[in-house]
Structure 1
Amino acid sequence: MAKISNRDRILESGVGTMFRKGYVGSSVRDIADEAGVPLGSFTNHFRSKETFALQVVDRYFASIEQVIGQTLADPARSPIERLRAYLDAISDLMAADDWRLGCLLGNFGIETAGSSELLRTRLVEIFAQWKQPFAAAMRDASACGEIAPGLDAEDLAEFLLAGWQGAIMRMKVDRSPEPLQRFRRVVDQTVLARPPMTPEG
């Protein structure tokens, strides 16, 4: 078995450190200590905490893309089943952390958008990429009659992703699944409500 490098060890541990403590609350020493490596090892591999955080963001989004691949992008499910499976999977991840941590990307967006143009720009790119599987599911749902026709898939995708992120933020504050459950109830009753059948002729 290949030995894990200090760089990979720092990155793997750093995701958890920055998730728990936030970007501002995580010092380079915190990151090195939790990875079990000398402080100099961090500076050998990363130019700054900001550039390190960029790689943390990418590493975290890669884990989200795995969830997307198993749910939102799963061709074996109907479009609405894909969306519900994604929301179920993310809810399960939130429950595993006792509703305390939220979404690292949403956390970073709130914390760093006004202080790091490098991170803000990367988050803009990630959210644009993240929106696309939602839009694809909404286009497919409209095409097969699972949602009302005429709704713009890009607008729906933006609404779903932004609304879900807002619900996750409230979940983190409340330390309760209720904001997620409320979001899903409203989406089920509106966006995902099957259009009424029209009489023939």
Structure 2
Amino acid sequence: MPVTQGDTRRSILDTAQRIMSRKGFAAVGINEVLSAAGVPKGSFYHYFNSKDAFGEAMMQSYFTDYLADMDRVLAEPGATSAQRLLNYWQSWRDTQSVDECQGKCLAVKLGAEVADLSESMRLALKDGTTAIVDRLERAIAAGVEDGSLSVDDGVRTTAQVLYDMWLGASVMAKIHRDIAALDSAMAATRRLLHL
């Protein structure tokens, strides 16, 4: 089957995510991504107007995939809302502790770097992380409703605090190359949700 333009674009974005999750945005040149994706060097601007537009598209693609996985975990049949949330955070812990705590989350890896580098990438990060907190809020509200968890603060506040805590714990795990911060985040999550 011939490769379509959409397949080539997606291949570039997927390849960039893999490379940039290890190296960062500024440290990776477009030629490195194109070479790894097997795409001719001269064709980059056929798919993206600039490196910023490319970075924005990469973040949007990343969050589209991330949110689809999150939706799957938070809709797991036969589990309480509390168990679904714990499964989500366990998955987070597992993916952030790979390769000596280098993780696979682009929000963790690129957040601080690109927020000051590119307004379009910052906005893509903002939209993506807001969508994550929205889903956490809905899952926590469902847990309060089904009685599988409870919160002392508002549901939205709790969702935001939990996301912020896990993001910070992921950064600390990278700094220390140790999963202790992620384990502390899990224990604090259980306390905040009264589990």
TM over 0.5: yes
Identical positions, percent: 25
Q: 2:157 aligns with which of 155, 170, 175?
A: 155
Aligned length: 193
1:85 match: 87
- Contact 1:99 1:171 survives alignment (8 Å): yes
Task: For 1:34 and 1:142, locate their aligned partners in 2 and report how far apart those are by CA, in whole Å.
Answer: 47
Bigger Cα displacement from structure 2, 8-17 vs 88-97: 88-97
- Contact 1:147 1:191 survives alignment (8 Å): no
- Where 1:92 maps in the other structure, the secondary structure is helix
The alignment's C-alpha RMSD in Å is 1.9
Residue identity opposite 1:94 in structure 2: Q
Residue identity opposite 2:188 in structure 1: V
1:135-158 Cα distance to aligned partner (Å, 9 max, x none): 112112222333346531100110
Q: 2:42 aligns with which of 37, 40, 52?
A: 40
Mapping 1:173-192, distance limit 5 Å: 173-188=175-190, 190-192=191-193
- Contact 1:146 1:192 survives alignment (8 Å): no
- Contact 1:71 1:82 survives alignment (8 Å): yes
- Where 2:24 maps in the other structure, the secondary structure is helix
- For residues 99 and 150 of structure 1, do their structure 2 counterparts lie closer, same or farther at Cα, with a shift above 3 Å needed? closer
- Where 1:57 maps in the other structure, the secondary structure is helix
**Structure 2 residue ranges without an equivalent (≥5):** none
Mapping 1:64-83, distance limit 5 Å: 64-83=66-85
Bigger CA radius of gyration:
1
1:123-172 Cα distance to aligned partner (Å, 9 max, x none): 11111111111111211222233334653110011011111111111111
Task: For 1:150 and 1:21, locate their aligned partners in 2 and report how far apart those are by CA, in whole Å.
Answer: 40
Q: Shift of the alpha carbon at 1:192?
A: 2.1
- Where 2:101 maps in the other structure, the secondary structure is coil
Mapping 1:166-177, distance limit 5 Å: 166-177=168-179
TM-score (norm 2): 0.89
- For residues 181 and 49 of structure 1, do their structure 2 counterparts lie closer, same or farther at Cα, with a shift above 3 Å needed? same
Residue identity opposite 1:118 in structure 2: S
Task: For 1:6 and 1:147, locate their aligned partners in 2 and report how far apart those are by CA, in whole Å.
Answer: 45
- Contact 1:67 1:86 survives alignment (8 Å): no
Q: Shift of the alpha carbon at 1:75?
A: 4.9
**Structure 1 residue ranges without an equivalent (≥5):** 195-201
Going by fraction, where is helix more abundant, 1 or 2?
2
- Where 2:192 maps in the other structure, the secondary structure is coil
TM-score (norm 1): 0.86
